[in-house]
Every structure is written in C-alpha cells, then in structure tokens.
Structure 1
Amino acid sequence: MNPNWRSFLESAEGIFDTASADLLHFGDAAAELQAAGQQTILVPLTHFGLLEASGEEAKSFLHSQFTSDVNHLAEGQAQHAGWCTAKGRMQASFLAWRNGDAYRMTVSADLQEATQKRLQMFILRAKVKLTSLNDSTILLGLAGRQAEEALTDAGLPCPAEPMTTATSDGVTAIRLDTSRFVISAPEEMKADLWQKLSVKARPAGTPAWRWLDVQAAFPLVTLATKEEFVPQMADFEKIGGVSFHKGCYPGQEIVARTQYLGKVKRHLYRLTSPQALSAGEALYSPDNLDQACGMVMSAAPSPTGGYEALAVVQSNYSTNVHLGSREGPQVQAAAVNP
C-alpha cells in the first residue's frame, strides 16, 4: 500500500497486521466492532487495491472479460463484476464504476498485482491502458446511521440510490446500500478528509468492514479463494455481478450452462462459530464421506462474540457443517438467499 497513507494512519494510532496490509484497529478492536453495528464508522479500506482502465477501447475490453455488462455501465452507476478462468471459476471480483471515459475497479489487495498482470496479457493491440492507482488514490469506507450526514458535513457528494456514484472535486462516493459508502479520493486529500469525516464517524479497522460485508452478503474473492467458485456458487448473480444476456467472456459458456441447467448445488451461507474462521478454510460434513462440503469465503470477528463468515456450502449438507475436518468444531450455517 501507499507508504504515505500507511504512515498517516499509523500517526492516527492505526495498528497494522505485520503479515499483511490489513489495518487491525485504532486501539480498541472490540469497541470498533460494536460501533459497526450501532454507530457510524470510518474505515481505511487498505485490503483493497484500485485499478483503472482507460483508452478508447477500455469499455469493449472490460465487457469482453468481465461477467457483468460493462457496455451499459453508465456514468453515475456502479456494479459488481467477476473475472473468470476458462473453466468458469472466479479469479477476481470487482466493484466497478465510470470515471469519465475511464473505469475504476476495486479488487482484493492480495490479488491486484497478479490480476493486473494477467489482464494486461489479454489487451494485445487494443487501445487500453491498465494502471494501478494505489499510490495516488485512497479508499475509505463510511457506514452507519450518520453516514450521509458525515458526507454532507464534509462537503462531499452523496449519491441517492444504492450502486450509484457521485463525484465532486476529484472525490467519488459510491453508495453500496442504505447506509454504506466507499469513497475514492486523491491521496493528497487524506488529512483533510480524515479530519472532517471523523467528526461524526469513529475510525475502525478492516475487521469491522469485513463484518459489515458478511451482514450485506458481499462475496469478495481473495487470494485464499481464487479459482474456487463458479459465480453462482457465491450467489454473485444475485448482486448484479453476472449478466446472462451479454456476449462472450472467459468461462461464459460454463457459467451460462450452470445457470440454465440448474446444476448449482453450492450456495452462499452465513456461518457463526465460537472458533476463529478465515478465508480458504475447508468445511466438512460427517454426512459426506467423499469430499469437503464447502469453503469459507470471508470472515470477521462478531460484535456479539465469536466469529461470523460467508461461505460457499453444499446445500444438502448445510445442517451439519464442521470446520477443518469431519471431526472439527461444528459451525452454524444459514442460507443467505433461502
């Protein structure tokens, strides 16, 4: 991540995981989790990277690669998008929006470098430029009952509807749902934005944002789950991340066949557990002796104690799910889209 951004956050008492770019907390992780459920929080989204695709053929290139309909992504709108292998497995997921004639995309930070490098391989002679914006742009998450008021008081744009954007003076706000926003801003504005937004929003670490993602059933592909899921296994089509009416893209035939033949046996579930959960952990059922019955996709500590997660689980084994092995601790699974 941008070292200047990290230094600024450390000066604001942010504590980072030594093994990753995750910002753990600002001194009181438990209180920050409580605030995520009851108050308004401000989270540096250090677990995301930011890419930009520009050039006169950027739209057609992304449309030919992603699972969603980039051709109809209008200015002022945002959408989820997946990028699949030829076998239909998601190798990255994005939140994408227009920035003038260019397109910006958040992606899991641990996948950004490999994703950018591999996407570059498919550009060939197309008039497209892929750029990492990590050094020039910061990403902030704002969530809670006073989120809109915090944006307005800070003089920032506030989009009115979910999955829409508003831009002013180089700052873009993306509304994810009724009370959650992603803010993309020039790096040099970090101190001013932080000061203004933290008047009404409590600074919090990425675990608080991950917990909100679990509540919102937002399935993020990370390095730990790369190439593990067909989009429908993660219910990705239910958040607008897949178009079944657009042209070809990598894996499109398998994704479409899976949809129309109704062969999806695994879906997105919320897990609760007293044991720690982490992305990529296998799930098993004593009722299935052949193979694992699922995998954790994302996880976070819960404000009420224990842990919560999103996982892809084989539906007919969802009532008897164990972590790590068939003899491992049992976890509770509830379908996100029953």
Structure 2
Amino acid sequence: MSTTTQFLESAETLDMSKLGITQLQNGYVCQLSDQSLIQARGDDAASFLHNQLSNDVEHLNDTQSRYAAYCTPKGRMLASFLYWKMDGNIVLQCSASLQPALQKRLQMFVMRSKVKLSEVSEQFAILGLGGKAAEAFLLTQFDQLPSAINDKVSSDDAGTLVRLHDAFDTARYQWVVAQEKLTAISANMNVSLLKVDASIWRLGNIHAGLPQVVELSKEKFVPQMINFELIGGVNFRKGCYPGQEIVARSQYLGKLKRRMAIATVKTDVVDVAMEIFSDNDPSQPCGMIVSAERNFGEGFACLVEIKLADQEQGKVHLGASDGPILEFLPLPYAYLDVTE
C-alpha cells in the first residue's frame, strides 16, 4: 500500500453532499490524485521547454510558478501546465489523463538537447489546502506562506508550496510534498483539517475561473478561448513555440469572439466537451463544457467556452436546443487585452 493510500484511508473523506462553504473556510485538505508531475532536468531543460510552451520558462525564478499551454502547430491546446523550479529542475504539472502521451510527445523533440524527462508523480503527494486551519498548519511546515497568486516557497524538508487563486472566499495552496514526509505529518494533518474529495478542489478551480485541459478536451481550444492568457498562461513577447503564430493572430487580428464563462445548471449529468446551444441559433452549438463539478445545492457548476454574442441569461441550453438552461455567474477577473 502506498503512502498516499494510507493518508487517504486514515480519515474520512467528505463529499459535496456533506459540505458547506463555511466548513471549507475553516480549513480543508484533499489529495489531487488526478494530477501528474513531469520533471525536466539537465543543462538545456529551461531552453527546451521555453521553445515548446506558450509561456516564458528561461526567466522563471525560484519563487514563481506559471501556467503554460502546450499546443499543436494549429494552436490547439494539447495540455495545460502549471510549472515551477524544484531542486534546480523544472516540474510540469498536468492532468494525469494526459501525462503518458505528453511526455512521449515532448521526448520526440529533445533530440540533442541536454534534457531528461521523467515522471516523478510516485515520489510526491500533491495536496490542495484552504482555509484558516490550513494556513495555521502550513506555518508549522514552512517559515512563511506565499502571499501573491502563483508565488511559491520551498524547503528541502517540507517540499514546494504554491499559492493559487482563491475560491470559496478563502486562500488556497497546493503543497507538493515527498511521500516520506507525508507519512510523518499525516496524523497531525488529519486532526486539524477536514478531509474532502478532490472534486471540491476542482469545483474551486471552476469558481476561480481556472481551466485545465484533460483527455476529453485536448485539441478543442486555442488558449484565449478558455481565458488562458488572462490567468498568465501566454507570453506574447517570447519567442516561437508550436502554434505561436495562430495564438498571436487570434489575439492581434480583430476582437476575440469566443471566451470562457462560469455557469451553473440544474441537471443530473454534465460531461467535459458536452455541447451547448443558444436560442439565437439553435441549429448548431455555440460552445462546449470545459469542466464541471457538482455544486453546493442542486446541479453543477461549469466552465463553458462560448461565443460572446450568445452569452445571455436564460438563452443557453446544455446538450440540446431544448436542454437545461445555463445560468451565468461573474468571472473573478475581467476580459482584458493582456498585450496592451
């Protein structure tokens, strides 16, 4: 039995039906077992990834994490990454559903570069934490907590801690910790923090407007269609990378017509890549589901990619022109032109 399994079984994991926002604000922890880690090491690791991803890797420092898209030559996202430096290497976090194919594809382009790619998911636990008790617990492991979004702190003993976008009106942190360390501290963590399912973390990402590409959604979106540049995932001043021309053209030539929005819907099933339909033109889909999780109360919360012209309350349906109605919520950030 792995350390991760021991940690998960050492306390009850509560699901959404037993939770409220107040409980999460008090303090919670969950295991992000749907995520994988790819490590890039070697003298050319930064320059290699800089030429493959949509964001700047060469100038990444030890106190930052960043988002990046990995695109096809046509600008469609094969994956979304969160990446940071750890022990002089670069770690890429992605959906576990994509990791094997991504690593294989990246390896094809290494050629003579001095870089080695390896999966290190088994060496670490990826934990999501939030709330007052979580901050108090983390201060027993780190000298200080990262204060700005996407900042990180690290230590040889405690691992890597990244401050991510807030959700449920509370700060959230992602902790990448060695499995051996997790064994040593899991008992104290279980006493002070509410154990919840990873779906709660994914729901928080939805409310924070944070998309992630998974197996069902790969090659569906140009980065701007899911607001990826708005969360810092695209650097328009860096050099070339696969799909760069298409991504830049989408930004600079004309107003963006498709964006991502947050919505709720009362229904029993919502799947990634499910199509949505507008009353403006019910004969064809106006967008699709990027991610979805059961929300507090009835139904689901979703991230939806949609034509801006069709984003109207009471006029967008899930799955068919007469399907359940989507109700749109405000994004926690504005639609801006990040190149200005």
Where 2:204 maps in the other structure, the secondary structure is helix
Q: What is the aligned partner in structure 2 of residue 331 from structure 1?
A: 326
Q: Does 1:293 align with 2:286?
A: yes
Q: Which one of the candidate residues 136, 143, 153 is aligned to 1:166?
A: 153
Give, in angstroms, the shift of residue 147 of structure 1: 2.7
Q: Which one of the candidate residues 120, 125, 141 is aligned to 2:128?
A: 141
Mapped contact 1:157–1:173 kept (Cα < 8 A): no
Q: What is the aligned partner in structure 2 of residue 322 from structure 1?
A: 317
Where 2:38 maps in the other structure, the secondary structure is strand
Q: What is the aligned partner in structure 1 of residue 239 from structure 2?
A: 247
Q: Which one of the candidate residues 3, 6, 19 is aligned to 1:8?
A: 6
Give, in angstroms, the shift of residue 34 of structure 1: 4.0
Paired with 2:21 and 2:329, the residues of 1 have a C-alpha distance of 22
For residues 164-213 of structure 1, give each alpha carbon's deviation from its aligned partner in whole angstroms, at most 9, with x where no partner exists.
Answer: 11111241111114511111111122222322333332111011101110
Q: What is the aligned partner in structure 2 of residue 175 from structure 1?
A: 163
Paired with 1:287 and 1:121, the residues of 2 have a C-alpha distance of 45
One-letter amino acid of the counterpart of residue 119, structure 2: S
Mapped contact 1:154–1:193 kept (Cα < 8 A): no
Paired with 1:106 and 1:46, the residues of 2 have a C-alpha distance of 12
Mapped contact 1:272–1:332 kept (Cα < 8 A): yes
Give, in angstroms, the shift of residue 9 of structure 1: 4.0
Paired with 1:90 and 1:263, the residues of 2 have a C-alpha distance of 20
Paired with 1:256 and 1:155, the residues of 2 have a C-alpha distance of 40
Structure-2 change in CA distance of 1:157 and 1:45 (3 Å): farther
Where 1:110 maps in the other structure, the secondary structure is coil
Q: Give ranges in structure 1 of 5+ residues lacking alignment.
A: 15-25
Q: Which one of the candidate residues 58, 66, 73 is aligned to 1:86?
A: 73
State the superposition RMSD in angstroms.
Answer: 1.9
Q: Does 1:64 align with 2:59?
A: no
Q: Which one of the candidate residues 252, 270, 278 is aligned to 2:262?
A: 270
Structure-2 change in CA distance of 1:274 and 1:220 (3 Å): same
One-letter amino acid of the counterpart of residue 324, structure 1: G
Listed as ranges, the matches of 1:197-276 within 5 Å are 197-275=189-267, 276=269
Structure-2 change in CA distance of 1:72 and 1:33 (3 Å): farther
Q: What is the aligned partner in structure 2 of residue 111 from structure 1?
A: 98
Give, in angstroms, the shift of residue 146 of structure 1: 3.2
Mapped contact 1:273–1:308 kept (Cα < 8 A): yes
Paired with 2:241 and 2:310, the residues of 1 have a C-alpha distance of 32
Mapped contact 2:292–2:303 kept (Cα < 8 A): yes
One-letter amino acid of the counterpart of residue 149, structure 2: P
Aligned length: 325
Structure-2 change in CA distance of 1:35 and 1:131 (3 Å): farther
Give, in angstroms, the shift of residue 155 of structure 1: 4.9
Mapped contact 1:90–1:228 kept (Cα < 8 A): yes
Deviates more, 1:241-250 or 1:130-139: 130-139
Where 1:311 maps in the other structure, the secondary structure is strand
Give, in angstroms, the shift of residue 156 of structure 1: 6.5
Structure-2 change in CA distance of 1:77 and 1:28 (3 Å): closer
Mapped contact 1:282–1:294 kept (Cα < 8 A): yes
Mapped contact 2:97–2:214 kept (Cα < 8 A): yes
Mapped contact 1:274–1:306 kept (Cα < 8 A): yes
Q: Which one of the candidate residues 117, 120, 145 is aligned to 1:130?
A: 117
TM-score (normalizing by structure 2): 0.90
Q: What is the aligned partner in structure 1 of residue 338 from structure 2?
A: none
Give, in angstroms, the shift of residue 102 of structure 1: 0.8
One-letter amino acid of the counterpart of residue 316, structure 1: A
Where 1:148 maps in the other structure, the secondary structure is helix
Q: What is the aligned partner in structure 2 of residue 21 from structure 1?
A: none
Where 1:51 maps in the other structure, the secondary structure is strand
Mapped contact 2:16–2:295 kept (Cα < 8 A): no
Where 1:262 maps in the other structure, the secondary structure is coil
**Identical residues among aligned pairs (%):** 36
Paired with 1:91 and 1:51, the residues of 2 have a C-alpha distance of 15
Structure-2 change in CA distance of 1:233 and 1:326 (3 Å): same
